[in-house]
């Protein structure tokens, strides 16, 4: 077995390992279940003694003594059953604790692997399903089933015909249980899928409420939501009908069996083959023998959902293995090297960035310009390690990005995405990237570097102002300034800014250029992606990107002059198309 396959095998047992870690608690539940099932004989033995000893002897002291013993046994059984339920609830909580961090890691990584919104949140729902089943009465049926032969054997000891009827009833209910599983598997899967789709659509509509209202899209989206909702309701009906009908039939069948046992017992009493006490005891014992199967049928929906969640969770974890521990590397401080990289969107293999190479030294700033859809934002995502490369490497001081632990790499990178996303919390928490022990001086320094300090002081509670989900309490320009401060927090070595001045005014442009200059002066590297020349005032290099390739790169003024010349040169006749002039100075044509 190769090392890779061995590692894959280990990674694919994470959910099983979490269950295995709960095995001591499961053993405790099994012990309690054994005692509870033995105490379940109390009713049968009590009835037997009443009919065969108390009624015949007419002894009041014997009746009182037997009743007190039965009461103590019932109290002990109820107490142990209550403790068993609490232990199962804690098993579910411990299982959740074992996997919650890993599941959050999956939720954070799946969108970067091309997963849809409905798929990205599925691990959370799967974990909830498994925990919910573990905390319910469903597992008690699994622990009680091994004791069914004891009760069935007791039925045979009372009378062979009583045992035969009990076995027949048990076989029928087991067949019903298997039939329930086969019939409910498909509807349960469809119900889970449609539930995720409905939740995703509702969440998307909530997040885009302003656009929906302003653009008059409410009616159209309501129709789409109604279609998804109706499908979810219908899936729920099918899943419910698949299990509830059979569950009701199993319950009625068990009641018929119990009454049938009484009828059979009465016949045997008349025939003188058993006593009246044995007749009542047989009915109670058979009822107890079949109870675990009825509980299993009643909780089969939860069991099916938990089983499907277990398999999905296991599969997703095998596709996205946990981050391996890597040796900590020193902070980068010298250069950035991009070596013939090809980058595609997650989940696809069609490159958006093709054969891009560049070298930047500490203290340099690169402005990346070009038409829309030329691959600039894709290159930015690759530079910060968000999107992996199909081929080629991106290196900081000679170390490829995948040689860093993600959070460790993040401390050396500042990133301002094109679509600014802030989190519900205070301004200070957002700037500090929610680090719990962030120093106030570092937060203020980052805000001052971004030119956002005065802006933040003008907010109702300054740095302690809560900005709401996605920064809803701030304007577009304020969100961009706070996000820029977040990118600059901690003095990262590589700062990548994607359209950083899209929502800025003139004062914001000046603050942005001062921030770019400050990064360069302290020995960092800045990459600025922009369509507005105002953001290029403090970079020393400019690259032109077209169709996923860097067509030219060199000193800022020379590249911008060549672009201006190309834009002002009249279009030549089709028959006489001259070759482009060689770039001046250090300007390099690439590709």
Structural domains of the chain in order of their starting residue, each with its CATH number: 11-319 (1.20.1560.10), 335-566 (3.40.50.300)
- pLDDT over 50 (residue 251): yes
Read off the tokens for 176. 């019903």
What's the whole-number mean pLDDT along residues 269-280? 80
The predicted pLDDT at position 567 comes to 66
pLDDT at 48: 76
Please determine, for residue 468, whether its predicted confidence score (pLDDT) is greater than 70: yes
Q: Is the pLDDT of residue 10 over 70?
A: no
Spatial distance between the Cα atoms of 504 and 66, rounded to a whole number of angstroms: 86
Which of 158-167, 319-328, 389-398, 476-485 is the least confident region?
319-328
Contact call for residues 243 and 300 (beta carbons, < 8 A): yes
* Distance in angstroms (rounded) separating the CA atoms of residues 498 and 222: 35
Neighbours of 469 (CB within 10 A): 12
412 close to 331: Cβ distance less than 8 angstroms: yes
- Residues 340-383: tens digit of each pLDDT: 999 998 878 899 999 999 999 999 999 999 888 889 999 999 99
For 305-324, the pLDDT digits (tens) are: 888 888 888 888 888 887 77
**Mean pLDDT across the chain:** 82
In the sheet with 541-546, reading across from the earlier edge strand, the strands are: 413-416, 494-498, 525-529, 365-369, 541-546, 549-555, 588-589
- Give residue 361's pLDDT: 93
Residue 562 has pLDDT above 50, yes or no: yes
The pLDDT, as a whole number, for residue 72 is 92
Comparing C-alpha atoms, which of 92, 83, 44, 82 is closest to residue 66?
Answer: 44
Residue among 489, 512, 562 at smallest CA distance from 365 = 512
| Beta-sheet strands, E only, within 345-445 | 351-361, 365-369, 389-396, 399-400, 413-416
User: 331 falls in which pLDDT band (50, 70, 90)?
Assistant: confident
Band the pLDDT of 243: cuts 50, 70, 90: low
In the prediction, which pLDDT does 336 show?
Answer: 93
The CA distance from 355 to 45, in Å, is: 83
pLDDT at 569 over 70: no
DSSP, collapsed to helix, strand or coil, labels residue 366 as strand
Residue with tokens 């411990």: 94
- At 217 the pLDDT is 74
Please state, in angstroms and rounded to a whole number, the distance separating the CA atoms of residues 109 and 122.
Answer: 13
The C-alpha atoms of residue 392 and residue 274 are separated, in whole angstroms, by 86
pLDDT digits (tens, 9 = 90+) for 177-219: 777 777 777 777 777 778 877 877 777 777 667 667 766 777 8
pTM reported for the whole predicted model = 0.71
Share of the chain above pLDDT 70, in %: 90
Which tens digit of pLDDT belongs to each residue from 290-305? 778 777 777 777 888 8
Between residues 204 and 82, the one the model is more confident about: 82
432-446 residue pLDDT tens: 988 888 899 999 999
Q: Residue 525 is inside which H or E element, if any? A: strand 525-529
């Amino acid at each position: 077995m190769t090392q890779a396959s061995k590692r894959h095998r280990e990674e694919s047992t994470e959910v099983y390992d979490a269950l295995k870690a709960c095995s001591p608690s499961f053993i405790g539940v099994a012990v309690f279940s054994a005692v509870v099932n033995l105490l379940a004989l109390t009713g049968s033995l009590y009835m037997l003694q009443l009919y065969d000893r108390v009624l015949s002897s007419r002894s009041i002291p014997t009746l009182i003594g037997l009743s007190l013993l039965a009461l103590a046994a019932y109290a002990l059984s109820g107490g142990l059953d209550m403790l068993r339920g609490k232990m199962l609830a804690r098993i579910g909580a411990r299982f959740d604790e074992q996997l919650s961090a890993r599941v959050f890691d999956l939720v954070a990584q799946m969108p970067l692997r091309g997963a849809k919104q409905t798929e990205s949140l599925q691990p959370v729902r799967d974990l909830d399903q498994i925990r919910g089943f573990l905390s319910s009465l469903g597992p008690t049926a699994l622990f009680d089933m091994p004791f069914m032969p004891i009760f069935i054997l007791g039925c045979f000891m009372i009378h062979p015909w009583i045992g035969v009827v009990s076995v027949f009833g048990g076989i029928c209910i087991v067949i019903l249980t298997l039939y329930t599983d086969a019939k409910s598997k498909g509807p349960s899967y469809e119900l889970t899928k449609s539930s995720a789709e409905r939740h995703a659509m509702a969440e998307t509509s909530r997040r885009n409420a302003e656009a929906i209202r302003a653009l008059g899209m409410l009616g159209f989206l309501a129709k789409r939501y109604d279609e998804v909702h109706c499908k979810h309701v219908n899936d729920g009906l099918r899943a419910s009908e698949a299990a509830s009908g059979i569950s009701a039939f199993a319950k009625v069948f068990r009641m018929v069996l119990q009454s049938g046992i009484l009828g059979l017992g009465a016949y045997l009493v008349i025939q003188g083959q058993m006593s009246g006490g044995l007749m009542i005891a047989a009915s109670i014992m058979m009822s107890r023998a079949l109870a675990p199967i009825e509980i299993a049928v009643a909780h089969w929906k939860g069991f099916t959902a938990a089983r499907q969640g277990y398999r999905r969770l296991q599969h997703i974890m095998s596709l996205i293995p946990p981050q391996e521990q890597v040796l900590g590397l020193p902070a980068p401080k010298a250069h950035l090297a991009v070596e013939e990289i090809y980058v595609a969107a997650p989940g696809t293999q069609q490159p958006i960035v093709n054969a891009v190479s560049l070298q930047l030294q500490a203290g340099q700033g690169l402005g990346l310009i070009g038409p829309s859809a030329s691959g600039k934002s894709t290159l930015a995502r690759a530079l910060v390690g968000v999107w992996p490369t199909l081929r080629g490497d991106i290196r900081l001081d000679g170390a490829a990005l995948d040689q860093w632990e993600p959070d460790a790499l993040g401390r050396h990178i500042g990133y301002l995405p094109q679509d600014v996303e802030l989190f519900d919390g205070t301004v200070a928490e957002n700037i500090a990237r929610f680090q719990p022990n962030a120093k106030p001086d570092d937060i203020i320094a980052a805000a001052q570097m971004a030119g956002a300090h005065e802006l933040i002081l003008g907010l109702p509670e300054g740095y302690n102002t809560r900005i709401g989900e996605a920064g809803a309490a701030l304007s577009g320009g304020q969100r961009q300034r706070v996000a820029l401060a977040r990118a600059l927090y901690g003095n990262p070595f590589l700062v990548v800014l994607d359209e950083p001045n899209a929502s800025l005014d003139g004062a914001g442009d000046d603050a942005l250029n001062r921030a770019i200059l400050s990064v360069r002066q302290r020995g960092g590297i800045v990459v600025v992606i922009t369509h507005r020349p105002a953001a290029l005032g403090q970079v020393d290099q400019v690259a032109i990107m077209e169709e996923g390739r860097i067509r030219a790169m060199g000193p800022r003024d020379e590249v911008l002059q060549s672009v201006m010349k190309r834009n002002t040169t009249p279009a030549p006749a089709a028959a006489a198309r001259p070759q482009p002039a060689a770039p001046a100075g250090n300007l390099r044509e690439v590709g």
